Amino acid sequence: MLAVELKLEDAVKGIRPVDGEWRRRAREHLNNLAIPVGSLGRLLDIAEQLAAIKESLKPSVGKKVVVTMAGDHGVVEEGVSTCPREVTLQMVYNFVAGGAGINALAGAAGARVVVVDMGVAGDLKELVEQGKILSRKVDFGTRNMTRGPAMTRQQAVQALEAGIDIAGDLVREGAELLGTGDMGIGNTTPSSAVLAALSGLPVRQVTGRGTGIDDETLDRKVRVIERALAVNRPDPQDPVDVLAKVGGFEIGGIAGLILGAAYYRVPVVVDGFISTAGALLAKHIAPQCVDYMIAAHRSMEYGHRYMLEELGLQPLLDLNMRLGEGTGAALAMCIVEGAARVIREMLTFEEAGVARNKSREYAV
């Protein structure tokens, strides 16, 4: 894929809210389907959203792509994870081999998986040259955010613009539905830090166990995040500053992918905790991009509920998942395609020759 560079500020200027008139038209059509009104529940809400995004009463989302962004984190030096740093690199090879959770679930959804090296602390040139992954590497992992910013502001913008460009490339190749995914040992730590910085919530309230840390390690993780916030003092009114001070390269890439999806008017299914940290940053950069987001699932990571509340999104699934990679997004894509088929393929009362149901509209 050849990137067509789009600057962050130009992408933000080009994102417009979903057209309310298309929502109205979609709702009217859905209320005329030959079923008891509202009987397909939230599928109808998703169908309405898809129709409004695509500006069509026959939206198609058959060409699905999950983008799994990978990056390492200097903060793992502080002992915030049960896994060693090299697992990030090893998992990239597992993705390429087709042996990871995202491969299995994307296969079930009929989705392609695109793996992106945003900042893995290792050499992946061989996989890049073989065309098995994309490289938008900003650096070989972020710096330890307890000692200063995780990255420079320029690197934060670079990560965001990489995600925007990847979205554009995929849309030009025909992608109709995007999904976010992540891989990065220790990345629940910067994700919690991003949430705390943007929301003002106490660190302990938004910090979970990640890969399964014990109580002692959880306490350390909370202290590490508190120290990083105190040292860096990220500006909650400046999401790029938050990303630079306490974020991660893959988190920035995910935020950029979401911004790019909104710019190119393609729905994007947001995975779990790390992906939603990216979604929060995207919202604070361009609030109207939320119109294009679909929350895949509610993560077991405790802070995820606060992210979803701030975004105003209700997740499609609640399966006690916390793997990441884009696994929740892949599963949710099956539901999203079902919603698209409802509005695209079902007949109205008139078309089906069925007597009209007199129940109320599913939404007003």
Residues forming the active site = 325
Residue 231: other Cβ atoms inside 10 A: 14
Residue 349: other Cβ atoms inside 10 A: 15
Residue 148: other Cβ atoms inside 10 A: 12
- HSE (CB half, 13 Å, CA atoms) of 288? 16
The distance from CA 40 to its chain's CA centroid, rounded to whole angstroms, is 25
Residue that has been written with the tokens 């050849």 in this structure: 2
Q: Which residues contact 1 (CB under 8 A, 6 or more apart)?
A: 134, 166, 169, 170, 173
Tell me the C-alpha to C-alpha distance, in Å, between residue 348 and each of 3, 24, 275, 343, 355.
Answer: 43, 16, 37, 10, 10
Token pair of 281, please? Answer: 């940053």
Q: Which residues contact 320 (CB under 8 A, 6 or more apart)?
A: 300
